[in-house]
Amino acid sequence: MLLVPGMKGVVVGCGKAGQSVVRFLLDRHLCVGVSEGSAAGRLDAGMVADLQSKGVLFEFGGHTEDFLTSFDFVVPSPGIPLDLPVLNAVRQKGVKIVGELGLAAGHFEVPVIGVTGSNGKTTVTSLIGSLLDHAKQKAFVGGNIGTPLLEYFSSKELPSAVVLELSSFQLDLAGAFRPDIGLVLNISPDHLDRHHTVEAYIEAKLKMIRHQRLGDRLILGGDDKRLAGVSSVDNVEVYRFGMDKECAASIKGDMVELRFTEDGVLRQETYNLEGTHLTSSVNRLNAAAAILAVRFAGCSRDQVQSGLNVFQPPLHRMTEVAVIDGVRYINDSKATNYGAMYAALQGCSEPVVLIAGGREKGGDWQLLRDVLAQKVCQLILIGEAAEKMKRVFEDIVPVTQAESMDAAVQAARTFARDGDLVLLAPGCASFDMYSGYEERGKVFMESVQRLRLEKRGWRAP
């Protein structure tokens, strides 16, 4: 978006992402406002005072049409529903609604790698950033992964590349944003509480690639039926990764086999994942996608293999917590939708005691009946969705309910036998009980560690 000094922009929501938007606009000498739904006392007083000293105007306790329409454009933070009545009223009055991606479009000075998908995008984004850093290409890694994407513009050192994890919320208002290398890993219905239909959710995801152009690259999940019909625009080169040997990056055991053309020459390369943290069925696919991206970004084959060998996946993604009495405890709290739960279960070879539940995000639990029947020997349910999930699954797997994570872990201990796996893969959001999936995973790990201490004779006072 073209930003001219003196323009007026208002940010809706003053969380971490909203504050980064405010700084971005101030740095470009715009007149800035903030519309915050919380009362003034709920925000950090020092932060508010600092922004007010820089001329930022605030309204607290709600979003009013009069305040928003006094600006040239409105920037909703990613978590703000776009169908709020006040935003609809603002649109009708001709005020432009733009997102952080739309603001950033056209302003990046280095190549951008964008990663989206329903599952695996945090691991792939982290892996791409790690591989680039290992190859001495300093990467800015941000977006939905934790660091707001606009923080790139206040970086003291110019990185070699920008790697962004992008959610459907961010892509809803992508504007003219385009990545030089775009990855769409997979699509399973998610966030239907916001997008309402699967079609709208898919359309949001694909906004990332709509403005790509000749010379850009598009990497797609080759095993995903919903991506089978996706084509590029303006002759953008398309590469697929997956189990099919015809994919540009194909999986063969613990090997990833690459086949692509570079400078008119056919390249065929093999990468060994044995001994790395990427040998699960899910992470082999994640590795294949990331390897393609970083090879296109200029990393050599040897640099990539060396980087794979030392990569440590992010927490809460199929993280092994402990082995107690022959039972493995795995934390996959990041499995916040049923597609991620399905993928986690598909990658398990042992009988699974599954801890699941939380706040629903929309979708059809019936689609998971087969994989639960095949993989799960006991289902332990927590959170708001527990009753509904019990009705769906109780005829195919034994079900019990728990009031807390600690109670769920204690119950899992009684059900699990030597050789089993206790898996936290909730298939739901965490906000009914926790601040986010990170806190949920942390509580799970703490509960498991208490089991380990109890095994050694420790008792809580």
Angle at CA of residue 65, ends 62 and 67, nearest 5°: 75
Contact between 166 and 115 (Cβ < 8 Å):
yes
3-state SS record for 213-229: CCCCEEEEECCCHHHCC
**pLDDT attached to residue 459:** 56
**pLDDT attached to residue 193:** 62
Residue intervals of the chain classified under CATH 3.40.50.720 are 8-98
- Cα torsion at 64, 66, 70, 71 (round to 10°)? 20
For residue 359, the 8-state DSSP code is: B
| Superfamily grouping for domain 319-455 | Mur ligase, C-terminal domain (3.90.190.20)
Separation in Å, CA 73 to CA 11, 32, 172: 9, 10, 16
Ramachandran angles phi, psi of 424, nearest 5°: -90, 105
Residue intervals of the chain classified under CATH 3.40.1190.10 are 102-310
**pLDDT attached to residue 234:** 76
**pLDDT attached to residue 233:** 74
Phi-psi region of 358 (alpha: psi -120 to 50; beta: other; left: phi over 0): left
**pLDDT attached to residue 456:** 66
Token pair of 278, please?
A: 């990427």
For residue 141, what are the β-bridge partners? 163
pLDDT along the chain (461 residues), means of 10: 92 92 95 93 91 96 95 91 92 95 94 93 95 96 92 90 94 94 85 69 89 94 89 85 95 95 87 94 94 97 97 88 94 89 89 96 86 97 96 97 97 96 95 94 96 72 50
Fold (CATH) for 8-98:
Rossmann fold (3.40.50)
Largest Cα–Cα separation, the chain: 69
Only one residue has tokens 């925000």, namely 43
Fold (CATH) for 102-310:
UDP-N-acetylmuramoyl-L-alanine:D-glutamate ligase (3.40.1190)
Residue intervals of the chain classified under CATH 3.90.190.20 are 319-455
Contact between 408 and 433 (Cβ < 8 Å):
no
Listing DSSP states for 109-144 in one string gives SS-EEEEE-SSSHHHHHHHHHHHHHHTT--EEEEET
Listing DSSP states for 419-442 in one string gives T-EEEE--SSBSTTTSSSHHHHHH
